[in-house]
Amino acid sequence: MVEDRLALIRERLSEVSMTWQSGSTLDEIRRSFEAYLAEVGPRGAAMAEPCCQAIPPGIDGAWIGQGERCALYCHGGGFQIGGVASHASLITRLAVAASMRMLAFDYRLAPEHRYPAAIEDAFTAYQWLLDIGEKPAAIVGDSAGGALALQTAQRARDAGLPLPSRIVLISPWLDLSMQSDSYIELAKVDPFSKPAQLRLMAKAYVGREGPALDSPLVSPLWGDLSGLPPIVAHSGEADITVGDSFKLTERVLEAGGQIDLQVFPGMCHHFQIYEALPEAKESIDALGHALRAA
């Protein structure tokens, strides 16, 4: 039963997140988050052997997967936590499903590095791929990394650069101003993310002197969505950010673009990290199919 599987996730995640609220330092939270994602994706993490290829100068990262074509992967974590190590399982499983190499990179995190550090690193990585002749077939992002993936494509379009064939978004957090009703209606349902937590992460990212939270500079949902490649987005029905995916679908279609949104019944935010969930495999397999067709 979906409810039983989510109950187990909620119980374990509650145990882990309690340590994040008990005076832990940010470094401790980051290490705990990495350990938790490795715990829920053990087989995928074990498969994550980086390819022996160059990475962008000045940016830590790794190539994961095998294949002729490549993609750029932007990890999630609310712009404050996460990295290649924490997301190794998810990236590896997706790379295998897509038969594709993925450049995953550790962008600078807030609050040490506020906006625009993360998007500058993402765009730099994309430009570097183009410079070495590795035009990405896709830009992929999960959660906050979904915002970076969409923004990178928007920046590439505005700069007149070659665009990827697909944008792939996994439980994307695209609106830091959190205007969707899902942030309220699903607050007690989604075990993974909470409104107060996301608000703090958003404020840490932009700082006091940064853009307004509804600015397209940090919330690509409200930016120009015309002239972009086809978008594939997967969210959960109990995903606190699912309203962003619905609004994205509406705005992309209004702009004359293409988008394929799939919402998985009962699933929480970022459910693809849970390797044991049948729904996670279903989502990864479908995303892999979309990437192979890119």
Phi and psi of 293, rounded to 5°?
-85, -5
> What is the rounded CA–CA span in Å between residue 128 and residue 70?
13
User: How many Cβ atoms from other residues are within 10 Å of residue 216's Cβ?
Assistant: 15
Beta-strand ranges (E) seen in 199-251 are: 231-236
287: Cβ contacts below 8 Å, ≥ 6 apart: 94, 97, 98, 168, 170, 232, 234
The residue behind tokens 């590095």 is 113
> What is the rounded CA–CA span in Å between residue 32 and residue 53?
29
The encoded tokens of residue 11 equal 């119980």
> What is the rounded CA–CA span in Å between residue 243 and residue 196?
17
> What is the rounded CA–CA span in Å between residue 111 and residue 45?
27
User: How many Cβ atoms from other residues are within 10 Å of residue 242's Cβ?
Assistant: 28
Strand partners, 25: none
Catalytic residue numbers, as ranges: 143, 239, 269
